[in-house]
Amino acid sequence: MESDLKEKIDLAAKWIAESERLVIFTGAGISTDSGLPDFRGPDGLWTRRDAGLPPPKSPPWDKVNPNIAHYLIVELLEMGKLDYLISQNIDGLHIKSGIPFEKLAELHGNMQLMRCLGCGKKLTFEEAGWNRRLHGMGFRMSKPRKRHPRCPDCEGRLINSIVNFGDPLPQDDLQESMRRSAESDVFFVIGSSLVVYPAAHMPSLARQSGAKLIILNQGETPYDNIADLRFSDSIADVLPPIVEKVKEMVGVDHAR
């Protein structure tokens, strides 16, 4: 490992180990090692589209499993270091990896979940009794019908939690993300180009409140010039040694 990279990893680990309100913000880049394409990477969905190329190959999303980066975030939570996780991803891999709902905001939804417009309850399509062949995809823009299942708690309308273009973000998740970002002392961006708003406003809220801003993304972001630490390396080369160093600093038993 290059000495400069090692120094940056050690510094990131020190900030995380000493933090009391670490917020992690993830984008599509964290899921590429699970086989899913990102959007603006060299072989990303939008990159290929703009070049007149077909979409990149992808396994069925419901068959994809979390990778080491997802599980390392869980380890930070188990160490008591992660205060909150904000994600732009709809792949559901953070939930699959073991992050509880109360510690996670999925700002653009989750392909495996429905959401009640009345009370905000989240539940799987199976729990909702929603048959996509019979009832359709259930997007917000879809016309509701009387035969559609309703929320088991409040009888409110159930919709697919995925936020499509033109849909508003879920206000409860958005407000909580903004609050946690503004109260963070370390804000760690992993695998996001930070160009989709309002989600990409979170690093600004954190930075304005005095948080250390760490960005780990192979492509450029609008926040590169104000980041306290900027990694352009792969997530697999940076996140594991950071978390390993945090373990050493906080005295986690490696044999656990």
Would you name the residues annotated as active-site residues?
108
Q: Cβ of 229: how many Cβ atoms within 10 Å? A: 16
In 3-state terms the chain splits into helix, strand, coil percentages (rounded to 5) of 40, 15, 45
Closest CA to 100 of 85, 80, 116, 115: 85
Q: Considering Cα of 164, then 167, then 172, then 175, what sign does the dihedral take?
A: positive
Amino acid 162 reads I
Contact, 23 vs 184, CB < 8 A? yes
Distance of CA 89 to the CA centre of its chain: 5
Instruction: Map residue 21 onto helix, strand or coil.
Output: coil
Q: Cβ of 99: how many Cβ atoms within 10 Å? A: 22
